[in-house]
Amino acid sequence: MKKNLLLLASVFVGLTTYGQFTEDNVPAPLTGSTLYTVDSLAGNYENETGANATWDYSDLHGYANAEKMLTVYDASATPEASDYPNATVAVDIEDFLLTYYSSSSTERIGQGFIFSDPDFGDVKSIFDTETPVIMNYPFDLGDAQMDSVIGTTYFDLGGSNPAPTEGITYSSVDGEGTLKLANNDYSDVLRHKVVDTTIVEAGGLIGTVKLIRTQYEYYDLSSGDLPIFIHASFAFEGQGAASAIEDFSLVLSKEEPSNLGFETNALSQTVVYPNPTSNQLSVQLPSEVNAAQINITDAAGRTVLNTTQSSSVQTIDVSPLNKGMYFMTISNGNVSTTKSVVIQ
């Protein structure tokens, strides 16, 4: 049976004809737009589907100075072009996700992606054995496509040895209707949903990792070929873990909210070094944080170390831990961040 590896084969396309995706609305290279990061805890309206849907994001808070460029490239002109020789288009969400795909007159095919996480490092997946069909044109309201892939994944963290990868991707146009943003309502909007579940057999220090992405992209019929709103969530699970050992979400909007009530999570600036390590691990908190709770879990989600940090820099003895990948959660009150570490 054909398998699939798709943490990310979402294609950022737009609409020139109401209600359907076709080859004609594949975004052109060297086009782009600016999107604003908004409340990462916003709901994804999973059940708001079908015709005449309403997705109300008008009251979201924003983050000061938090913009990301959405840029379309000719895939052959990107630094990683040799890894994606069959791709024609690469769509980049700045410092987050670079997606490669190709498109013919009848279908859109995922070629792979490079996902950038400041804690986990770059994750590069190449669909080099089986490629998934993401859309059969025309792709309209109520249409859905499920396909599988076999590929190869490379991790920055823990080395770059090729890891066999497989999984399933599900793509659909699950709704059309009105999208309410900070300043305007967009009435002729299509929503493209992608859910990817990927198993990566990395072995070595990383082990087996499950990567899950759920992404909703909203397209305004009159605004061109790029989404005007994106709600993306990712989860990393270790083998046997009952829940995600690292997860996060990114919500991007065409319109900047007037209420910039959120500050960037200061704890995300925590520095953990050296990484990888075999004996000691130092944790340096940002200057505005005085104390934190440190919790380290293994790839199965089990806590292996728990301590309280009350100084700006603290050194932790990790020599008793087995070799492998671990996840360090640093928390202060209701705010937390997770760092991936490797013990070698």
**Is 234 domain-assigned?**
yes
Q: What is the mean pLDDT of residues 154-180?
A: 87
State the residue for tokens 């792979």: 112
Are 329 and 243 members of one domain?
no
Rounded Cα–Cα distance for residues 65 and 63 (Å): 6
What b/e readout covers 181-193, taking b as 16+ CB neighbours within 10 angstroms? bbeeebebbbbbb
Domain-ending residue, one of 219, 253, 287 = 253
**Is 260 domain-assigned?**
no
Q: How confident is the model at residue 7 (pLDDT cuts 50, 70, 90)?
A: very low
pLDDT > 50? residue 333: yes
Instruction: Give me the percent of the chain exceeding a pLDDT of 90.
Output: 43
Rounded Cα–Cα distance for residues 298 and 322 (Å): 9
Is 83 in a helix, a strand, or coil? helix
Q: Is the dihedral of CA 165, 192, 41, 228 positive or negative?
A: positive
Cβ neighbours, 10 Å, residue 272: 18
Task: Check residues 227 and 302 and name the one with the higher pLDDT.
Answer: 227
**Is 6 domain-assigned?**
no
Domain-ending residue, one of 221, 253, 285 = 253
pLDDT > 60? residue 213: yes
Q: What is the pLDDT of residue 266?
A: 67
**Is 77 domain-assigned?**
yes
**Is 7 domain-assigned?**
no
How many structural domains is the chain composed of?
Answer: 2
Q: How confident is the model at residue 19 (pLDDT cuts 50, 70, 90)?
A: low
Q: What is the pLDDT of residue 210?
A: 85
Domain interval for residue 296: 266-343
Are 280 and 206 members of one domain?
no
Identify whether the C-beta of residue 93 lies closer than 8 Å to the C-beta of residue 116. Answer: no
Task: Check residues 320 and 65 and name the one with the higher pLDDT.
Answer: 320
Q: What is the pLDDT of residue 246?
A: 65
Q: What is the mean pLDDT of residues 47-58?
A: 96
**Is 307 domain-assigned?**
yes
Is 16 in a helix, a strand, or coil? coil
Identify whether the C-beta of residue 18 lies closer than 8 Å to the C-beta of residue 25. Answer: no
Domain-ending residue, one of 253, 277, 299 = 253
Q: What is the pLDDT of residue 180?
A: 96
pLDDT > 50? residue 3: no
**Is 321 domain-assigned?**
yes
Q: What is the mean pLDDT of residues 81-90?
A: 96
Q: What is the pLDDT of residue 275?
A: 80
The closest of 235, 342, 242 to 300, measured between CA atoms, is 242
Query: Cβ-count burial of 178 within 10 angstroms (0-12 exposed, 13-18 middle, 19+ buried)?
Result: middle
Are 108 and 247 members of one domain?
yes
